């Protein structure tokens, strides 16, 4: 028996050109423009939507729990002063320094050395004055020993131990009580410098380049302190101040490792601007860093929840009630994303996806 033709099985289909009814052809077809639109938004009316799996709901709820806890912490720490224009300038400069970008490339360690020199200027001056005033043979031996240690020391702890051993040996051999007191004070200033990561390096650089006049540190320190009540966003003001005190910066140039390329008033102006900003906003920055740290932790479960929602759209899946809540902390995240994005370049000055600021 002959096999029935396709037209016999379905009288509506009579030819290749008439295989589908008018509403099934062209833009109305499943792959057509309107068909796709209708399928996307009204498909749930014509077919049964899938259930979201229990394991997916479990992962979503766990992410939402983290979002709620961390988001509330973000709301507690958040402070509108973090949106202050001057504070944001500080954050942006700090980012450029850390990432070694643009006009701040190669300046981070130089700034750290200069700021440390300013912070510990009294110790440097005291060490210098002690070496000039107390010139007994045993005392000079002690100074020479310290200088050799600076050139060849291992860890900071070993440096301290070696200094104390040498001090214990030298004190009994020192003739005057005044000389003994001076050596003890000298070792305490060495201890203070060694508390800083770059302290001993800075001291060894001072000795290597034999800076005779430590008062230059006071000069620059007073210049920075004089910025306390000024608008620190005014870069031109910084350049003018540097030019008026340029000889002081020139004396420190090699000690704070400023390259030939960066040896100009503009570079030193950027350095003192950053240092002055860091002094003014030190306490605020601690809280800001805490907020950014929590926001980075918040961002991971936030991404998880977003991806789960995106993978389970309402036209394909029955939406659990757990999918409805807003994300606690989301408004804070978007606020800082806006504040910390350069309007011209689109560069973001805080990376929420890593632990770096």
Give domain status of residue 95, yes or no: no
- The pLDDT of 292-296, averaged and rounded, is 96
Indicate the pairing of strand 317-318 with strand 50-51: parallel
With 90 as the cut, is the pLDDT of residue 168 above it? yes
- What is the model's pTM? 0.79
| Alpha-carbon gap, residue 142 to 157, rounded angstroms | 18
Task: Give residue 110's pLDDT.
Answer: 96
**Percentage of the chain modeled with pLDDT above 70:** 85
In this prediction, residue 154 has a pLDDT band, given cuts at 50, 70 and 90, of: confident
With 60 as the cut, is the pLDDT of residue 35 above it? no
Q: What is the pLDDT of residues 176-194, one digit of tens each?
A: 999 999 999 999 999 999 9
Task: Give residue 33's pLDDT.
Answer: 57
Give domain status of residue 338, yes or no: no
Give domain status of residue 321, yes or no: no
Give domain status of residue 134, yes or no: yes
Give domain status of residue 232, yes or no: yes
Range of the domain at 144: 103-280
- The pLDDT of 28-43, averaged and rounded, is 55
- Higher pLDDT: 59 or 25? It is 59
Give domain status of residue 325, yes or no: no
With 50 as the cut, is the pLDDT of residue 20 above it? no
| Alpha-carbon gap, residue 233 to 224, rounded angstroms | 14
| Alpha-carbon gap, residue 13 to 28, rounded angstroms | 18
Alpha helices in the chain (DSSP H): 6-9, 33-42, 54-77, 85-98, 108-119, 121-133, 137-152, 156-170, 177-194, 199-208, 215-225, 235-244, 246-252, 265-280, 282-311, 330-339
Task: Give residue 41's pLDDT.
Answer: 62
With 70 as the cut, is the pLDDT of residue 14 above it? no
| Alpha-carbon gap, residue 161 to 185, rounded angstroms | 16
Give domain status of residue 245, yes or no: yes
Give domain status of residue 292, yes or no: no
Question: How many structural domains comprise the chain?
Answer: 1
Q: What is the pLDDT of residues 118-127, one digit of tens each?
A: 999 999 999 9
Give Cα separations from 243 to 86, 104, 211, 213 (angstroms): 23, 19, 21, 20
With 70 as the cut, is the pLDDT of residue 172 above it? yes
Give Cα separations from 347 to 70, 290, 340, 343, 351 (angstroms): 26, 22, 8, 8, 10
Least confident among 110-119, 187-196, 242-251, 313-322 = 313-322
């Amino acid at each position: 028996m002959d096999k029935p033709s396709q037209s016999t099985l379905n009288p509506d289909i009579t030819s290749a050109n008439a295989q589908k009814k008018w509403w099934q052809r062209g833009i109305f077809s499943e792959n057509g423009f309107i068909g796709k639109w209708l399928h996307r938004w009204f498909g749930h009316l014509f077919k049964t939507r899938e259930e979201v799996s229990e394991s997916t709901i479990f992962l979503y709820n766990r992410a939402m729990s983290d979002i709620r806890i961390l988001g509330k912490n973000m709301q507690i720490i958040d402070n509108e002063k973090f949106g202050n224009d001057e504070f944001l300038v500080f954050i942006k400069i700090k980012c450029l320094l850390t990432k070694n970008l643009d006009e701040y490339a190669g300046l981070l360690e130089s700034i750290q050395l200069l700021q440390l020199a300013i912070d510990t200027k009294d110790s440097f001056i005291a060490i210098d004055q002690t070496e000039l005033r107390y010139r007994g043979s045993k005392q000079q031996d002690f100074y020479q020993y310290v200088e050799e240690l600076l050139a060849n020391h291992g860890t900071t702890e070993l440096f301290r131990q070696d200094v104390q051993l040498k001090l214990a040996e030298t004190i009994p051999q020192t003739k005057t009580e005044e000389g003994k007191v001076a050596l003890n004070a000298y070792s305490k200033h060495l201890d203070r410098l060694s508390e800083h990561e770059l302290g001993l390096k800075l001291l060894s650089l001072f000795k290597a380049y034999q800076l005779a006049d430590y008062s230059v540190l006071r000069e620059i320190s007073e210049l920075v302190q004089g910025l306390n009540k000024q608008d620190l966003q005014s870069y031109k003001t910084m350049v003018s101040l540097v030019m008026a005190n340029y000889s002081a910066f020139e004396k420190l140039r090699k000690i704070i490792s400023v390259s030939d390329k960066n040896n100009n008033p503009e570079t030193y102006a950027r350095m003192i601007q950053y240092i002055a900003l860091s002094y003014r906003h030190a306490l605020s920055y601690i809280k800001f860093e805490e907020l950014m740290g929590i926001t980075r932790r918040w961002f991971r479960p936030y991404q998880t929840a977003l991806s789960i929602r995106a993978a389970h759209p309402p036209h394909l899946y029955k939406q659990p009630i757990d999918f409805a809540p807003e994300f606690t902390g989301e408004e804070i995240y978007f606020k800082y994303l806006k504040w910390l994005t350069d309007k011209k370049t689109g560069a973001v000055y805080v990376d929420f996806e890593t632990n770096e600021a």
